[in-house]
Amino acid sequence: MVGHRPTLAASWPPGPPTPAGADTPADTLADAPGRRSLPVRHRGDQLGVLVVQERPNRPLTSLEQRLFADLAAQAGLVLRGARLRAELAARARELSRRADELRGSLQRLVDVQDDKRRLLERDIHDGAQQHLVALAVNLRLAETLAPQAPERSRRLLVAQHGASMAAIDALSQLSRGIYPPLLADAGLEAALRAATAAGPTSVEVVTRNVARYDRTIEAAAYFACLEALQNAAKHAGARAIRVVLEGSSHSLTCTVEDDGTGFDTATADTGRGLANMRDRVESVGGTLAVRAVPGAGTRVRFELPPVARDVEPSSPES
C-alpha cells in the first residue's frame, strides 16, 4: 500500500500483472474463483495483501494454508521496505519537478532583470545623460566666454541652474522606478497608498498589525501588489479594488481583491503578470494563491515570511 492505494510490489511467476494488479482495490482481490488473500501487517499497520491463486480443482492443502499464513505474517517488513521505496521515489519525482519549476522561475527573474537593466540603460542614455552632457558643454562654453564676454558667460551660467535641476529630476524619476524612496522611508502601507492615490481605479488599502520588514520583503510585497493592481485595472476592467495587508508573528499576508471580470483559472492564459508575481513572491520564500470566478472578480493572496525590522507597528486598522 502506497498511501491508501494498493500497488503491486512483486509477483510470481514473473509476467504481466494479473487483473488483481496495482489498480485493483484490496477488498476485491479475493473475488476470483480459487483466489485466496490475507492481509499483511507490520506493527499493527496493514501494509498490503498477499494473494494466492489456487490451481484449477486443486485447493490448498492444510500444510499449504499454514505456509500461506506464515508467509503473510513474515511479509510485513518486506512490504514496509517496498512502500518506503515507492514513497521515496514519488518524493524524488516531486522534488525533481519542484527543482525544474525553481530553475524556470530563476531564469524568468534573470530575464526580467536583464530587460529592466536594458530599459534603465536606455532611459539613462536618453534622459539624464543628455542633460548632463549638455550641462558639461555649456559650463565649458561659459568658462571660455568669461574673459571676453563676461555678461554672456554669466547669463549662460544662470541658465545652467535650470539644466541641472532637469538632470536631478530625471535621475529622481529613474530612482523611483528602481526602488521608491517612500517605501524605504515610511514602509509598505505609505508607499502603496501613495502609488494608488492618483490612479483611475478606486483602491482601498486596509492594514492590520503591519510593521516594518526587511527591505527584500517590503519590495516583494510592494511590487507584487502593484502587479496585481495593474492586472485588475488593465485586464479585468475592475471598478473597485481592495488591498488588505495583515501582519502576524508567522507571516505578512497581502490580499488584492477586485470586482472585475474574473477568469477561469483552469483554462485562461494568465500571461507574464501572474508569473512575475509568483516569481517575486517565491524568491523570498513566500507563497501565492489565485482565486478567480468568471464574472465575479479575482482575489490574489500571497504570504511572505515576516523578517521584521526594529520599527514601531502601524495602527491596528486604518
* 173 shares its domain with 216: no
pLDDT of residue 317: 45
What average pLDDT score do residues 191-210 get?
86
Q: Which phi and psi (to 5°) does residue 298 adopt?
A: -135, 145
Instruction: Identify whether residues 172 and 192 lie together within a single domain.
Output: no
- Residues 170, 266 share a domain: no
- pLDDT band (50, 70, 90) for residue 16: low
In CATH, what number is assigned to the domain containing residue 189? 3.30.565.10
Q: Are residues 204 and 246 in the same domain?
A: yes
Rg (CA), the chain: 34
DSSP state of 37: E
- Do 223 and 267 have their domain in common? yes
Strand 202-208, strand 240-247: pairing: parallel
pLDDT digits (tens, 9 = 90+) for 81-128: 877 888 899 899 999 988 888 887 777 777 777 677 776 776 676 667
CA distance 260 to 229: 11
Separation of alpha carbons 113 and 129, rounded Å:
21
At residue 23, the pLDDT reads 45
Domain of 241 in residue numbering reads as 183-304
Range among 37-41, 137-141, 206-210, 277-281 rated most confident: 206-210
Reported as a pLDDT band with limits 50, 70 and 90, residue 9 is low
Based on the structure, what is the number of domains in the chain?
2
Residue 187 has pLDDT above 50, yes or no: yes
**What is the distance of C-alpha 217 from the center of its chain?**
13
Q: In whole angstroms, what is the distance from residue 34 CA to residue 14 CA?
A: 20
Higher pLDDT: 267 or 65? It is 65
pLDDT classification of 287: cutoffs 50, 70, 90: very high
- HSE (side-chain half, CA atoms, 13 Å) at 194: 13
* 54: confidence class by pLDDT, cuts 50, 70, 90: confident
Q: Of the candidates 150, 178, 206, which is a domain's last residue?
A: 178
The secondary structure element, H or E, covering residue 52 is: strand 45-53
Per the domain annotation, does 242 fall within a domain?
Answer: yes
Give helix 76-123 / helix 62-74 axis angle, nearest 10°. 40
How far is 189 from 125, CA to CA, in rounded Å? 33
| pLDDT at res. 108 | 79
Give φ, ψ of 53 to 5 degrees.
-105, 115
pTM value surpassing 0.85: no
pLDDT of residue 7: 65
Beta bridge partners of 48: 40
Could you tell me if 166 and 223 lie in one domain?
no
Give me the chain's average pLDDT, please: 79
Q: Do you find a cis peptide bond into 147, omega within 30 degrees of 0?
A: no
pLDDT category of residue 57 using cuts at 50, 70 and 90: confident
pLDDT at 307 over 80: no
Q: Is residue 37 part of a domain?
A: no
Whether 295 is covered by a domain: the verdict is: yes
Listed residues 130, 157, 178: the one ending a domain: 178
Q: Is the pLDDT of residue 195 over 70?
A: yes
Between 14 and 250, whose confidence is greater? 250
The reply to whether 125 falls in a domain is yes
Q: Are residues 203 and 284 in the same domain?
A: yes
pLDDT at 133 over 80: no
Establish if 27 belongs to a structural domain. Answer: no
Give the residue carrying C-alpha cell 481583491.
257
Task: Verify that 215 and 148 share a domain, yes or no.
Answer: no
CB burial of 22-54 (b: ≥16 within 10 Å; e: otherwise) equals eebebeebeeeeebbbbebbbeeeebbbbbbee
Per-residue pLDDT tens over the stretch 219-277: 889 989 988 888 888 778 888 899 999 999 889 999 999 998 888 777 666 666 788 88
> b/e per residue, 209-243, with b = 16+ CB within 10 A?
ebbbbeeebbbbbbbbbbbbbebbbebbebeebbb
Domain assignment present for 137: yes
The confidence score (pLDDT) of residue 230 equals: 83
Of the listed ranges 48-62, 69-83, 101-115, 201-215, the one predicted with least confidence: 101-115
Whole-angstrom Cα distance, residue 259 to residue 237? 8
Lowest mean pLDDT of 39-48, 82-91, 94-103, 302-311, name the range.
302-311
pLDDT in tens, 156-182: 888 888 878 877 777 776 666 667 788
Structure confidence at residue 122 (pLDDT): 66
Dist. CA 299–CA 260, nearest whole Å: 10
**Percent of the chain with pLDDT strictly greater than 90:** 19
pLDDT of residue 199: 67
